[in-house]
Amino acid sequence: MKILLVIPDNPLSARFQLRTAGITPPLGIAYLASYLLKAHFDVSILDNSIEHLREEDFIKKLITYKPDIVGISALTYAVPNALKLTCIIKKSNPGIKVILGGPHATALSRDMLQHESVDIVVKGEGEETLVEVCRRLSEKEDLKGLKGILYKTANGFIENGDRDMIADLDGIPFPAYQLLAMDKYFLPASRRNSNRKIGSIITKRGCPYTCNFCSKGVFGQQVRFRTPANVVEEMELLAKKYGIGEIVIWDDNFNLDQKRAIEICELMKRKKLDMVWSCNNRANLFSDEFCRAIYEAGCRQVNFGIESGVQELRDNIRKDITDKDIEKAIRLCRKYRLLVSCSFIFGLPGETWETAMETLKFAKLLNPDYLMFCALVPMQGSELFELAI
């Protein structure tokens, strides 16, 4: 059985933003591929966010590869393009099973399944679920009772309930980098710290915090960590096999467990990994010891989600950081010559013109190396989305 995993192209409205934010290897779909390969399926990946195949070229890909299943994962802004692909697939070959997954499909699974060209929706963490779906389809078995999916029958939709999260992240094979065009991923000048080849990694899944603008439908609130040895082994693979010299650690808060993060840094130094990297951190968990450890291990840029310069607005979204936390974290970054990037959101609950101006004043006071200002979008699956409705 052949399985094609697809990331749809991004809409033109997002192209400029992505040029300024960069596109790094799609770890989610690469993890799905590695799990399928481990189960001895024939797998291919099409990342159309970098390939930009036209409709006729996508059809040629289907004709050439002849997949039995196409799995599509899309962020919210790319969902319209994802649904166009599902129609193209069914028109090309109605026998292909079409599966949707990812954060949008998880949050609005019934809406996604309403589309005539979608057969199955995978909810949440997809590795174990997708392998079991493919196994049953290959053996022509019923999907009854298979946790983590919604699917269509002659009598309507069936939802089998949620699947438990994967407890042992070290047991998941490394992303299937060999199926990606690793030379095509990039970071813009404002986010890169070298002229080296770019890679990315995640060292944990889940977040214990309760910011109400965040959707945790895929990885959940329970935190699961990879061991330092497992993380650094993947870094070595990226460096030695794929020539990666700079990585982005995409954890939403790399310093959640500072002791473990420092162990990763110490192991990187012992292995003499010649890499530069960046990471996202919570300002209230920043310490001198942590800051020194990441700098010595090659970190050159730290990103903080500040969200607002007004404490009341941060409290409204349960961000749980203070001006004092933020100022201390940035002072430590300056001490260790780390570049600082801060992101803010305009339009949080309670925002006025005056509070927006206070945020601008606070941003100027902090004087980071890079600033990013975003307009609030209530994301599907977040508490703020339900409040907006």
282-296 pLDDT per residue, tens: 999 999 999 999 999
14-72 pLDDT per residue, tens: 777 777 778 999 999 999 999 999 999 999 999 999 999 999 999 999 999 999 999 99
- Mean pLDDT within 139-162: 92
| pLDDT number for residue 155 | 83
Q: Are strands 224-225 and 204-205 parallel, antiparallel or unpaired?
A: antiparallel
326-335 pLDDT per residue, tens: 999 999 999 9
Q: What distance in Å separates the CA atoms of residue 68 and residue 32, rounded to the nearest whole number?
A: 16
Q: What are phi and psi of 206, to 5 degrees?
A: 95, 155
- Mean pLDDT within 263-291: 96
195-220 pLDDT per residue, tens: 899 999 999 999 999 999 998 778 88
| pLDDT number for residue 369 | 95
Structure tokens at 375: 């307009």
Q: What distance in Å separates the CA atoms of residue 208 and residue 177, rounded to the nearest whole number?
A: 29
- The pTM for the full model equals 0.94
Closest among 156, 199, 225, 167 to 22, alpha carbons compared: 199
* CA 118, 124, 127, 130 torsion-angle sign: negative
- Mean pLDDT within 155-159: 89
